[in-house]
């Protein structure tokens, strides 16, 4: 499993936008396998 820092590096400048999308469509973190973007909610 990747660390949160490794996930951030994978997505470079898109990470914040992806967190917003994750918060909107998957706030309960159902889709959490692979390079997980944790919801900020």
Q: What is the pLDDT of residues 1-41, one digit of tens each?
A: 778 788 778 888 898 899 999 999 999 999 888 777 778 86
29 is a domain residue: yes
- In this predicted structure, what is the pLDDT of residue 41? 61
Q: Is residue 10 part of a domain?
A: yes
Could you tell me if residue 8 is inside a domain?
yes
CA-nearest of 11, 4, 2 to 38 is: 4
Q: Answer whether residue 13 is part of any domain.
A: yes
Cα three-residue angle 9-26-7, rounded to 5 degrees: 10
Asked whether residue 21 is domain-assigned, the answer is yes
Report if residue 41 sits inside a domain. Answer: no
Give me the number of domains the chain comprises.
1
Structural domain harbouring 19: 1-36
Kindly report the number of other CB atoms within 10 A of residue 41's CB atom.
10
Does a structural domain hold residue 5?
yes
Residues 6+ apart with CB under 8 A from 30: none
């Amino acid at each position: 499993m990747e660390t949160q820092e490794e996930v951030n590096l994978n997505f470079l400048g898109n990470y914040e936008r992806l967190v917003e999308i994750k918060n909107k469509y998957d706030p309960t973190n159902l889709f959490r396998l692979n390079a997980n973007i944790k919801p900020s909610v």
